[in-house]
Chains A and B, each alone.
Chain A
Amino acid sequence: MIARLLAPAGSLEMAQAAVDQGADIIYVGPLGFSRRPYESEMSDDAIREAATYARSRGAELRVVLNTFPTPYDFGRFVDKALRYAADGASGFIVTDVGLMCALRREIPDTVLHVSIGSGISNLADAAFYRDAGADVIILPYRWDVAEIESVRRASDIGLETFLFETVQTGKLCPGKCIMSSYLRFRDWKEVEGSRDFHGSANRGAKECYRVCQANWEFGAVGADPVEIKLRRDARLMLAQLPAFVAAGVSCFKLSGRERPVGMIRDLVRFYRRAIDEVAAGATDLGHHAAELAELRGRWVREKAKRVDTLMDRAASYVA
């Protein structure tokens, strides 16, 4: 099986850049429905245009509906998905298992990815989601080759992984975290559309404040605290890529809808070459080390701009 490259499209410009550089699939988030600030989400018209652009060049478009619906607007998610499917979206990235079942029922031939926000942690989870109609699961950040092989043996579900090195420590809790909304809510902005509930990162209204990446003091009562982040920063991967392909990963996801277009353009070009080399039989990608180091540096510098910024901004939002 040839592994595919799934690339971010936080804007129409980014969508076109990713397709031009060889992404097999791009993913877009509708305004207010995809756990990103509105600057990195797209209007329905822009999504339709991105789908047309991708299809005309042999690529596909997935729509990210990875927020949790409210009890009142569950049907709205389904309606939006039907519209996107009619506009050329070939699949969806979904978190809520109820929504996943509904989309499988309403759009039988679409491709359904289980979002990282579903919090899958074992191969029994994978089997549950397969039963529920999912086609692809995103693998947990902690999983290495042995884990991938075990789920490959247990299920025929498609396997997707982020292009990050695996990590074992820290509070890595996608789908198991509501820290941001405990601290503050930010009111909806007009551009995000009118919704009738107070939102949260998980429900799409508000950005996640990256609580885990901000600086905290941590310690036992009475002891001297240490200044600490709750998790290590994600690190772009490369060396693991051949082994992951051999273990059965069929889709590699590049994160970064909120990143600069130029960075995503360069990253898609880089990983396109790497995946093609692995498909041609390469098992060692060490000759890309210098270019990888440069990309990692850019990635980290961009990330550093955001640490603490979102948290400090959140302090001004409503309680």
Chain B
Amino acid sequence: MVEDTRLIELKGISKSFGTTQVLKNIDLYIRRKEFVTLLGPSGCGKTTMLRIIGGFETQDEGKLIFDGKDLSGVPPYKRRVNTVFQKYALFTHMNVYDNVAFGLKLKKPEELLSGVSNPTRKQVKEEINRRVTRMLKLVKMDAYAKRSVDSLSGGQQQRIAIARALVNEPEVLLLDEPLGALDLKLRREMQLELKTMQQQLGITFIYVTHDQEEALTMSDTIVVMNGGEIQQIGDGKSIYDEPKNAFVANFIGDSNILDAVMVQDYEVFAAGRSFECVDEGFAPNEPVDMVVRPEDIMIVGEDVGMLPGEVKSVLFKGVHYEMFVEAAGFNWKVHSTSMYPVGSRVGLSVVPSNIHIMHKMKEQTAPAAEESK
């Protein structure tokens, strides 16, 4: 389980490449044995953050604290952190076994065999062999030890990359979109395996992805990022249910986002009518974003619903139907297990606890405020 001690702390980290600032004053802490996912669209700064923790980039400003010590300026080969790279970066001139043994062979004999004084070459070799074999078993690749890495499939290379990093028993494993090159089915399998591995080994994982589903499946904590800034930190459920702003709502799952005005506590005005909600503490008549998840909208009879509308399109999505319903001048995305044909008149309804109110994002404040006047 996640321990309540802070293993890694980022304090006011900023980083620019040329004139573009990719990280803006990032504050974040990561606990021991936590599975943290950095989630965001490409270019949001998540990979740069990972590379700073790995030691491949140096921050322009701020501090990186690891286990109480400042890591700034410490090169990658002296950090108790290992990385699984995006395209694996396996050493193609070595076979599977030698790839996994690479890090162990670089360690001092005393490090490998603590408690043994003056270990012999044979002892060291046997210890390396023992650890490599155990790790290959863990990733289910023990039958491939003598194979060249070029002859492996993408999924198998992936496993070797994980084994090569984990065999060094790092305190933190960094994973940079490691499943990006795999097909959907394999991705799902590997997601579960990675999660199990992390729990078994009790290592902190920092995982970078742009795939929200992946993040929700595996993480203890999700850090949603955009434009070099952290948008929200929380576990999957809280981020999904209580997105802090329209970006998070839109990025995690599907959403209907409407310009709205918070009339008073528990009452919001949008789409031409007032809705009861559970939010409070906004300024009277503050312009806000109102977010409703497609699966939270119920389709009822035209006369009983809160908003009457017309079904404009229907798509079958496997488990549910995705329909667009035009009501009160807005195109509502609705997920439902029953299908309503295009053209049919329906009513839309939503319960107060499923209406999420959030502050307008900074960049959009000015135009949105004008609109509401």
| Chain A bound to chain B | no
Binding site for B on A (CB under 8 A): none
Binding site for A on B (CB under 8 A): none
